[in-house]
Amino acid sequence: MKLIKGILIISIITILLIGCSETDKVGTKLNDDMNYEDFFISVRENNDKVVIVYGTIGSEEENLSSEKSAYGYENLMLKLLKVNSTDNIIIKSDSEVSEEDIKNTHIILTGNPSVNSMYKEINDKLPIYIDGDEVIAGDKIFTGDKVMFNYIHPNPLNTNKYVWINGSLNNEYIAINQDNSIREDYDIKINENERYKGDFIKEDDEWKVQLGDNDYSDKNNIVKESDNFKFIYSEFNTDVNENIEKIMKEREEIYDNISDKLGFKNPEKISDYILLDFKQVENKVVYGNHNSSYLGSIYEVYGEDSSIMARIYQAINSQKGFPLNQFIEYGLFYYITMDRVESELDIELDIEKVIEEDKYIQFSYMSDYIIDRQLDWDIVATELTLFSKYLVDTYGLDRYIELYETNTEKGLNDSFIKVYGKDLIQLEDEWLSQVEGN
Protein backbone atom coordinates (compact mmCIF):
# COMPACT_ATOMS: atom_id res chain seq x y z
CA MET A 1 0.00 0.00 0.00
CA LYS A 2 1.37 3.40 -0.89
CA LEU A 3 2.82 5.44 1.95
CA ILE A 4 0.98 8.61 1.28
CA LYS A 5 -2.13 6.98 0.08
CA GLY A 6 -4.79 9.45 -0.29
CA ILE A 7 -3.33 12.84 0.73
CA LEU A 8 -5.93 14.10 -1.20
CA ILE A 9 -6.27 17.17 0.42
CA ILE A 10 -9.88 17.92 -0.92
CA SER A 11 -13.09 20.24 -0.38
CA ILE A 12 -15.27 22.23 -2.92
CA ILE A 13 -16.28 25.53 -4.23
CA THR A 14 -18.94 28.10 -5.15
CA ILE A 15 -20.83 29.83 -7.84
CA LEU A 16 -22.03 33.29 -8.86
CA LEU A 17 -25.48 33.63 -10.33
CA ILE A 18 -25.73 36.39 -12.91
CA GLY A 19 -29.19 37.63 -13.80
CA CYS A 20 -31.36 34.66 -12.77
CA SER A 21 -35.03 35.13 -13.59
CA GLU A 22 -37.89 34.48 -11.18
CA THR A 23 -39.06 31.49 -13.20
CA ASP A 24 -35.71 29.81 -12.68
CA LYS A 25 -36.16 29.96 -8.90
CA VAL A 26 -39.03 27.49 -8.74
CA GLY A 27 -39.31 23.91 -9.85
CA THR A 28 -40.62 20.48 -9.09
CA LYS A 29 -39.79 18.89 -5.79
CA LEU A 30 -36.71 16.68 -5.87
CA ASN A 31 -36.11 13.30 -4.28
CA ASP A 32 -36.55 13.67 -0.50
CA ASP A 33 -34.17 10.79 0.17
CA MET A 34 -31.21 12.21 -1.74
CA ASN A 35 -27.86 11.92 0.04
CA TYR A 36 -24.23 11.83 -1.13
CA GLU A 37 -24.31 8.24 -2.35
CA ASP A 38 -27.60 8.83 -4.17
CA PHE A 39 -26.15 11.97 -5.72
CA PHE A 40 -23.25 10.11 -7.31
CA ILE A 41 -25.52 7.31 -8.50
CA SER A 42 -27.89 9.87 -10.05
CA VAL A 43 -25.08 11.71 -11.81
CA ARG A 44 -23.67 8.44 -13.16
CA GLU A 45 -26.94 6.85 -14.26
CA ASN A 46 -28.64 9.99 -15.59
CA ASN A 47 -25.52 11.47 -17.17
CA ASP A 48 -26.16 14.71 -15.25
CA LYS A 49 -23.80 17.64 -15.56
CA VAL A 50 -22.09 19.05 -12.45
CA VAL A 51 -20.37 22.43 -12.20
CA ILE A 52 -17.69 22.78 -9.51
CA VAL A 53 -17.04 26.46 -8.87
CA TYR A 54 -14.20 28.18 -7.05
CA GLY A 55 -14.44 31.61 -5.46
CA THR A 56 -12.62 34.77 -6.50
CA ILE A 57 -13.82 37.43 -4.01
CA GLY A 58 -11.56 36.47 -1.09
CA SER A 59 -7.87 37.07 -0.51
CA GLU A 60 -5.29 35.57 -2.88
CA GLU A 61 -4.67 32.74 -0.42
CA GLU A 62 -8.40 32.00 0.01
CA ASN A 63 -9.08 32.10 -3.72
CA LEU A 64 -6.22 29.72 -4.49
CA SER A 65 -7.37 27.34 -1.75
CA SER A 66 -10.86 27.44 -3.22
CA GLU A 67 -9.52 26.71 -6.69
CA LYS A 68 -7.47 23.81 -5.38
CA SER A 69 -10.58 22.39 -3.74
CA ALA A 70 -12.44 22.51 -7.05
CA TYR A 71 -9.81 20.34 -8.69
CA GLY A 72 -9.79 18.04 -5.69
CA TYR A 73 -13.50 17.49 -6.00
CA GLU A 74 -13.20 16.92 -9.73
CA ASN A 75 -10.72 14.17 -8.89
CA LEU A 76 -13.10 12.74 -6.30
CA MET A 77 -16.06 12.83 -8.70
CA LEU A 78 -14.11 11.02 -11.40
CA LYS A 79 -13.01 8.38 -8.91
CA LEU A 80 -16.53 7.77 -7.62
CA LEU A 81 -17.99 7.80 -11.11
CA LYS A 82 -15.29 5.26 -12.06
CA VAL A 83 -14.08 7.17 -15.12
CA ASN A 84 -10.79 8.84 -16.03
CA SER A 85 -12.42 11.86 -17.66
CA THR A 86 -15.84 13.20 -18.57
CA ASP A 87 -17.33 16.31 -20.14
CA ASN A 88 -20.03 16.29 -17.47
CA ILE A 89 -17.78 17.51 -14.63
CA ILE A 90 -16.89 21.15 -15.25
CA ILE A 91 -14.76 23.58 -13.21
CA LYS A 92 -15.47 27.31 -13.35
CA SER A 93 -14.74 30.40 -11.31
CA ASP A 94 -17.69 32.18 -9.74
CA SER A 95 -17.37 34.97 -12.31
CA GLU A 96 -17.68 32.46 -15.18
CA VAL A 97 -20.91 30.78 -14.12
CA SER A 98 -23.82 31.48 -16.45
CA GLU A 99 -27.58 31.48 -16.13
CA GLU A 100 -27.52 28.42 -18.36
CA ASP A 101 -25.31 26.60 -15.81
CA ILE A 102 -27.79 27.35 -13.03
CA LYS A 103 -30.65 26.11 -15.17
CA ASN A 104 -29.11 22.87 -16.43
CA THR A 105 -26.51 21.61 -13.92
CA HIS A 106 -26.08 20.53 -10.34
CA ILE A 107 -23.74 22.83 -8.41
CA ILE A 108 -20.98 22.08 -5.92
CA LEU A 109 -20.18 24.93 -3.50
CA THR A 110 -17.65 25.15 -0.73
CA GLY A 111 -15.89 27.48 1.67
CA ASN A 112 -17.38 30.69 2.95
CA PRO A 113 -19.63 33.42 1.51
CA SER A 114 -16.75 35.88 1.87
CA VAL A 115 -14.78 33.87 -0.70
CA ASN A 116 -17.44 32.64 -3.10
CA SER A 117 -19.99 34.96 -4.64
CA MET A 118 -22.71 32.38 -5.33
CA TYR A 119 -22.48 31.11 -1.79
CA LYS A 120 -22.94 34.71 -0.72
CA GLU A 121 -25.97 34.94 -3.05
CA ILE A 122 -27.82 31.93 -1.60
CA ASN A 123 -26.41 31.73 1.95
CA ASP A 124 -29.49 33.15 3.72
CA LYS A 125 -31.80 30.88 1.71
CA LEU A 126 -30.23 27.68 3.09
CA PRO A 127 -31.23 25.69 6.20
CA ILE A 128 -27.63 25.70 7.50
CA TYR A 129 -25.94 29.02 6.89
CA ILE A 130 -23.08 31.28 7.91
CA ASP A 131 -23.72 34.56 9.76
CA GLY A 132 -20.45 36.40 10.36
CA ASP A 133 -18.35 34.12 12.55
CA GLU A 134 -21.24 31.79 13.39
CA VAL A 135 -22.93 28.82 11.75
CA ILE A 136 -26.70 28.73 12.29
CA ALA A 137 -28.38 25.31 12.15
CA GLY A 138 -31.98 25.33 13.38
CA ASP A 139 -31.98 26.53 16.99
CA LYS A 140 -28.24 25.95 17.46
CA ILE A 141 -25.38 28.39 16.89
CA PHE A 142 -21.81 27.16 16.44
CA THR A 143 -18.55 29.10 16.56
CA GLY A 144 -14.88 28.15 16.28
CA ASP A 145 -12.13 27.74 13.71
CA LYS A 146 -12.87 24.05 13.11
CA VAL A 147 -16.58 24.33 12.27
CA MET A 148 -17.27 22.73 8.87
CA PHE A 149 -20.41 21.32 7.29
CA ASN A 150 -21.57 19.39 4.23
CA TYR A 151 -25.04 18.79 2.84
CA ILE A 152 -27.04 18.39 -0.36
CA HIS A 153 -30.12 20.56 -0.85
CA PRO A 154 -32.34 21.77 -3.70
CA ASN A 155 -30.66 24.79 -5.26
CA PRO A 156 -32.59 27.90 -4.07
CA LEU A 157 -31.91 29.47 -7.49
CA ASN A 158 -33.35 26.50 -9.37
CA THR A 159 -35.08 23.84 -7.28
CA ASN A 160 -35.01 21.42 -10.20
CA LYS A 161 -31.32 20.91 -9.45
CA TYR A 162 -29.22 20.19 -6.37
CA VAL A 163 -26.55 22.28 -4.72
CA TRP A 164 -23.90 20.49 -2.68
CA ILE A 165 -22.79 22.82 0.13
CA ASN A 166 -19.37 22.50 1.75
CA GLY A 167 -19.05 25.26 4.31
CA SER A 168 -16.24 26.29 6.62
CA LEU A 169 -15.97 29.14 9.12
CA ASN A 170 -12.20 29.21 8.71
CA ASN A 171 -11.26 29.91 5.09
CA GLU A 172 -7.88 28.28 5.72
CA TYR A 173 -9.67 24.92 5.96
CA ILE A 174 -11.50 25.17 2.62
CA ALA A 175 -9.09 22.71 1.02
CA ILE A 176 -9.50 20.04 3.71
CA ASN A 177 -13.27 20.12 4.18
CA GLN A 178 -14.13 16.80 2.59
CA ASP A 179 -16.54 14.06 3.49
CA ASN A 180 -18.55 12.09 0.97
CA SER A 181 -19.02 9.04 3.19
CA ILE A 182 -22.05 10.05 5.23
CA ARG A 183 -25.46 8.58 4.48
CA GLU A 184 -27.56 11.31 6.12
CA ASP A 185 -28.73 14.61 4.61
CA TYR A 186 -26.28 16.78 6.55
CA ASP A 187 -23.06 16.55 8.53
CA ILE A 188 -21.88 19.35 10.84
CA LYS A 189 -18.42 19.07 12.38
CA ILE A 190 -17.77 21.37 15.36
CA ASN A 191 -14.51 20.02 16.79
CA GLU A 192 -12.87 16.64 17.41
CA ASN A 193 -15.51 15.80 20.03
CA GLU A 194 -18.69 17.21 18.54
CA ARG A 195 -20.52 16.26 15.36
CA TYR A 196 -24.14 16.26 14.19
CA LYS A 197 -25.55 14.11 11.38
CA GLY A 198 -29.17 13.69 10.39
CA ASP A 199 -31.96 14.26 7.88
CA PHE A 200 -33.79 17.46 7.08
CA ILE A 201 -37.47 17.94 7.89
CA LYS A 202 -38.96 18.24 4.43
CA GLU A 203 -42.21 20.19 4.17
CA ASP A 204 -43.37 21.13 0.66
CA ASP A 205 -40.38 22.81 -1.02
CA GLU A 206 -38.76 23.93 2.24
CA TRP A 207 -36.21 21.79 4.04
CA LYS A 208 -35.60 22.56 7.73
CA VAL A 209 -33.02 21.32 10.18
CA GLN A 210 -33.65 20.20 13.75
CA LEU A 211 -30.46 18.88 15.30
CA GLY A 212 -30.50 15.92 17.63
CA ASP A 213 -27.80 14.86 20.05
CA ASN A 214 -24.07 15.08 19.49
CA ASP A 215 -23.26 12.08 17.27
CA TYR A 216 -19.75 11.71 18.68
CA SER A 217 -19.37 9.07 21.39
CA ASP A 218 -16.26 8.84 23.52
CA LYS A 219 -17.29 6.35 26.20
CA ASN A 220 -15.21 3.56 27.72
CA ASN A 221 -11.91 5.08 26.59
CA ILE A 222 -8.50 4.66 28.17
CA VAL A 223 -6.03 7.57 27.92
CA LYS A 224 -2.25 7.07 28.06
CA GLU A 225 0.32 9.83 27.57
CA SER A 226 3.93 9.85 26.38
CA ASP A 227 6.28 12.77 25.78
CA ASN A 228 4.61 13.95 22.56
CA PHE A 229 1.36 11.96 22.33
CA LYS A 230 -1.91 11.41 24.10
CA PHE A 231 -3.22 7.96 23.12
CA ILE A 232 -6.97 7.33 23.33
CA TYR A 233 -8.41 3.85 22.81
CA SER A 234 -11.33 1.71 23.94
CA GLU A 235 -11.03 -0.53 26.98
CA PHE A 236 -12.34 -3.27 24.68
CA ASN A 237 -9.33 -2.92 22.38
CA THR A 238 -7.30 -5.54 24.21
CA ASP A 239 -4.64 -5.85 21.52
CA VAL A 240 -3.76 -2.16 21.88
CA ASN A 241 -3.91 -2.30 25.67
CA GLU A 242 -1.44 -5.21 25.69
CA ASN A 243 0.93 -3.44 23.27
CA ILE A 244 0.53 0.18 24.36
CA GLU A 245 4.11 0.56 25.63
CA LYS A 246 5.43 -0.75 22.30
CA ILE A 247 3.09 1.56 20.39
CA MET A 248 4.19 4.57 22.44
CA LYS A 249 7.84 3.78 21.77
CA GLU A 250 7.28 3.30 18.03
CA ARG A 251 5.34 6.55 17.68
CA GLU A 252 7.90 8.53 19.69
CA GLU A 253 10.72 7.21 17.48
CA ILE A 254 8.88 8.31 14.33
CA TYR A 255 8.09 11.68 15.93
CA ASP A 256 11.71 12.30 16.94
CA ASN A 257 13.00 11.29 13.50
CA ILE A 258 10.65 13.70 11.72
CA SER A 259 10.80 16.62 14.15
CA ASP A 260 14.63 16.48 14.38
CA LYS A 261 14.88 16.78 10.59
CA LEU A 262 12.24 19.51 10.37
CA GLY A 263 13.85 21.43 13.19
CA PHE A 264 10.66 22.00 15.20
CA LYS A 265 8.15 20.12 17.35
CA ASN A 266 4.42 20.29 17.90
CA PRO A 267 3.55 22.91 20.53
CA GLU A 268 1.02 20.49 22.07
CA LYS A 269 0.77 16.74 22.41
CA ILE A 270 -0.75 14.97 19.42
CA SER A 271 -4.00 13.15 20.17
CA ASP A 272 -3.70 9.65 18.69
CA TYR A 273 -7.03 7.79 18.58
CA ILE A 274 -6.43 4.07 18.08
CA LEU A 275 -9.68 2.52 16.88
CA LEU A 276 -10.82 -1.07 16.57
CA ASP A 277 -11.32 -1.15 12.79
CA PHE A 278 -11.67 1.05 9.73
CA LYS A 279 -15.46 0.92 9.91
CA GLN A 280 -15.21 2.60 13.30
CA VAL A 281 -12.87 5.17 11.78
CA GLU A 282 -15.48 5.98 9.13
CA ASN A 283 -18.30 6.21 11.67
CA LYS A 284 -16.61 8.02 14.53
CA VAL A 285 -13.84 10.23 13.16
CA VAL A 286 -15.18 13.77 13.01
CA TYR A 287 -13.02 15.22 10.23
CA GLY A 288 -11.96 12.11 8.36
CA ASN A 289 -8.85 10.07 9.05
CA HIS A 290 -6.49 12.01 6.84
CA ASN A 291 -7.80 15.50 7.47
CA SER A 292 -7.68 15.07 11.23
CA SER A 293 -3.90 14.86 11.05
CA TYR A 294 -3.90 18.21 9.25
CA LEU A 295 -5.78 19.55 12.29
CA GLY A 296 -3.31 18.05 14.73
CA SER A 297 -4.95 14.69 15.61
CA ILE A 298 -4.34 11.15 14.36
CA TYR A 299 -6.76 8.26 13.90
CA GLU A 300 -5.39 4.81 13.19
CA VAL A 301 -6.09 1.10 13.38
CA TYR A 302 -3.09 -0.48 15.08
CA GLY A 303 -1.19 -2.88 12.87
CA GLU A 304 -3.28 -2.14 9.78
CA ASP A 305 -2.45 1.45 8.92
CA SER A 306 0.66 1.84 6.76
CA SER A 307 0.27 5.63 6.65
CA ILE A 308 1.05 6.35 10.31
CA MET A 309 4.37 8.01 9.47
CA ALA A 310 2.61 10.36 7.03
CA ARG A 311 -0.04 11.18 9.63
CA ILE A 312 2.55 12.06 12.27
CA TYR A 313 4.38 14.23 9.72
CA GLN A 314 1.12 16.04 8.88
CA ALA A 315 0.24 16.55 12.54
CA ILE A 316 3.65 18.07 13.30
CA ASN A 317 3.74 20.17 10.14
CA SER A 318 0.14 21.42 10.46
CA GLN A 319 1.45 24.48 12.31
CA LYS A 320 3.05 25.58 9.02
CA GLY A 321 -0.29 25.60 7.20
CA PHE A 322 -1.68 23.70 4.22
CA PRO A 323 0.33 23.86 0.96
CA LEU A 324 -1.70 24.42 -2.18
CA ASN A 325 0.37 22.01 -4.29
CA GLN A 326 1.09 18.37 -3.56
CA PHE A 327 4.38 18.77 -5.42
CA ILE A 328 5.77 20.84 -2.52
CA GLU A 329 3.95 19.03 0.27
CA TYR A 330 4.98 15.56 -0.88
CA GLY A 331 8.46 16.72 -1.76
CA LEU A 332 9.20 17.81 1.81
CA PHE A 333 7.66 14.65 3.25
CA TYR A 334 9.66 12.37 0.97
CA TYR A 335 12.88 14.23 1.75
CA ILE A 336 12.30 14.14 5.52
CA THR A 337 11.51 10.41 5.44
CA MET A 338 13.74 9.35 2.55
CA ASP A 339 15.64 6.87 4.71
CA ARG A 340 12.34 4.94 4.88
CA VAL A 341 10.77 5.92 1.57
CA GLU A 342 12.62 3.32 -0.48
CA SER A 343 11.47 0.42 1.66
CA GLU A 344 7.98 1.80 2.35
CA LEU A 345 7.18 2.45 -1.31
CA ASP A 346 9.22 -0.44 -2.67
CA ILE A 347 11.04 1.82 -5.12
CA GLU A 348 14.61 2.44 -6.15
CA LEU A 349 15.74 6.04 -5.75
CA ASP A 350 17.74 5.91 -8.98
CA ILE A 351 17.04 8.89 -11.24
CA GLU A 352 19.74 7.92 -13.76
CA LYS A 353 17.92 4.63 -14.34
CA VAL A 354 14.61 6.47 -14.76
CA ILE A 355 16.13 8.80 -17.38
CA GLU A 356 17.99 6.00 -19.16
CA GLU A 357 14.78 3.98 -19.52
CA ASP A 358 12.97 7.05 -20.87
CA LYS A 359 10.49 7.02 -17.98
CA TYR A 360 11.23 10.49 -16.67
CA ILE A 361 8.11 12.57 -15.94
CA GLN A 362 8.58 16.29 -16.53
CA PHE A 363 7.59 18.45 -13.58
CA SER A 364 5.06 20.30 -15.73
CA TYR A 365 2.94 17.12 -15.52
CA MET A 366 3.03 17.29 -11.71
CA SER A 367 2.49 21.02 -11.25
CA ASP A 368 -1.30 21.04 -10.85
CA TYR A 369 -2.72 21.31 -7.35
CA ILE A 370 -3.18 17.54 -7.19
CA ILE A 371 -0.74 15.16 -8.84
CA ASP A 372 -2.45 12.82 -11.28
CA ARG A 373 -2.72 9.41 -9.62
CA GLN A 374 -2.58 7.76 -13.04
CA LEU A 375 1.10 8.67 -13.28
CA ASP A 376 3.62 5.99 -12.31
CA TRP A 377 3.81 6.78 -8.60
CA ASP A 378 7.15 5.06 -8.06
CA ILE A 379 8.64 7.44 -10.63
CA VAL A 380 6.84 10.42 -9.07
CA ALA A 381 8.16 9.50 -5.61
CA THR A 382 11.70 9.01 -6.95
CA GLU A 383 11.76 12.38 -8.70
CA LEU A 384 10.18 14.33 -5.83
CA THR A 385 12.48 12.75 -3.26
CA LEU A 386 15.70 13.41 -5.16
CA PHE A 387 14.71 16.86 -6.44
CA SER A 388 13.81 17.92 -2.88
CA LYS A 389 17.13 16.51 -1.64
CA TYR A 390 18.91 18.56 -4.31
CA LEU A 391 17.13 21.75 -3.19
CA VAL A 392 17.97 21.11 0.46
CA ASP A 393 21.61 20.16 -0.26
CA THR A 394 22.07 23.19 -2.52
CA TYR A 395 20.03 25.90 -0.83
CA GLY A 396 19.36 24.57 2.69
CA LEU A 397 16.37 23.10 4.53
CA ASP A 398 15.30 26.51 5.82
CA ARG A 399 14.61 27.62 2.24
CA TYR A 400 12.46 24.55 1.59
CA ILE A 401 10.48 25.17 4.79
CA GLU A 402 10.03 28.74 3.56
CA LEU A 403 8.85 27.35 0.20
CA TYR A 404 6.34 25.14 2.02
CA GLU A 405 4.95 28.10 3.97
CA THR A 406 4.90 30.37 0.91
CA ASN A 407 2.88 27.78 -1.01
CA THR A 408 0.09 28.10 1.57
CA GLU A 409 -0.55 31.58 0.14
CA LYS A 410 0.86 31.60 -3.39
CA GLY A 411 0.75 29.33 -6.42
CA LEU A 412 3.47 26.82 -7.25
CA ASN A 413 5.59 28.84 -9.66
CA ASP A 414 5.19 32.09 -7.72
CA SER A 415 6.36 30.27 -4.58
CA PHE A 416 9.53 28.98 -6.26
CA ILE A 417 10.31 32.40 -7.71
CA LYS A 418 9.79 34.16 -4.38
CA VAL A 419 11.98 31.73 -2.41
CA TYR A 420 14.66 30.75 -4.96
CA GLY A 421 14.50 33.57 -7.52
CA LYS A 422 13.93 30.89 -10.20
CA ASP A 423 10.83 29.15 -11.50
CA LEU A 424 10.24 25.40 -11.25
CA ILE A 425 11.39 24.61 -14.81
CA GLN A 426 14.66 26.49 -14.30
CA LEU A 427 15.32 24.57 -11.08
CA GLU A 428 14.38 21.29 -12.78
CA ASP A 429 16.92 21.98 -15.56
CA GLU A 430 19.53 22.92 -12.95
CA TRP A 431 18.96 19.65 -11.08
CA LEU A 432 19.01 17.48 -14.22
CA SER A 433 22.25 19.13 -15.35
CA GLN A 434 23.84 18.08 -12.09
CA VAL A 435 22.43 14.55 -12.46
CA GLU A 436 23.81 14.22 -15.99
CA GLY A 437 27.17 15.61 -14.87
CA ASN A 438 27.64 12.95 -12.19
> Does position 290 have pLDDT exceeding 80, yes or no?
no
Q: Is residue 346 very low, low, confident or very high in pLDDT (cuts 50, 70, 90)?
A: low
Instruction: Label each residue of the chain as H, E or C.
Output: CCCCCCCCCCCCCCCCCCCCCHHHHCCCCCCCCCCHHHHHHHHHHHCCCEEEEECCCCCHHHHHHHHHHHHHHHHHHHHHHCCCCCCCEEEEECCCCCHHHHHHCEEEEEECCCCCHHHHHHHHHCCEEEECCEEEECCEEECCCCCEEEEEEEECCEEEEEEEEEEECCHHHHHHCCCCCCCCCEEEEEECCEEEEECCEEECCEEECCCCCCCCCCCCEEEEECCCEEEEEECCCHHHHHHHHHHHHHHHHHHHHHHHHHCCCCCCCEEEEECCCHHHHHHHCCCCHHHHHHCCEEEECCCCCCCHHHHHHHHHHHHHCCCCCHHHHHHHHHHHCHHHHHHHHCCCCCHHHHHHCCCCCCHHHHCCCCCCCCCCHHHHHHHHHHHHHHHHHHHCHHHHHHHHHHCCCCCHHHHHHHHHCCCHHHHHHHHHHHHHHC
First to last CA, the chain: 33
Average pLDDT over residues 233-237: 89
Average pLDDT over residues 1-26: 33
Q: Identify the CATH number of the domain defined by range 22-208.
A: 3.30.379
SS3 191: strand
The pLDDT tens digits of the residues spanning 30-70 come to 555 666 677 777 788 888 999 999 999 999 989 998 898 88
Tell me phi and psi for residue 372, to 5 degrees.
-60, 120
Average pLDDT over residues 123-145: 93
pTM, full prediction: 0.81
Where do the domains of the chain lie?
22-208, 221-320, 326-437
pLDDT score recorded for residue 213: 78
Q: Is residue 222 very low, low, confident or very high in pLDDT (cuts 50, 70, 90)?
A: very high
Mean pLDDT estimate for the chain: 84
pLDDT score recorded for residue 187: 87
pLDDT score recorded for residue 33: 60
The pLDDT tens digits of the residues spanning 373-428 come to 889 998 999 999 999 999 999 999 999 999 999 999 999 999 999 999 999 999 99
Average pLDDT over residues 10-28: 32
pLDDT score recorded for residue 358: 94
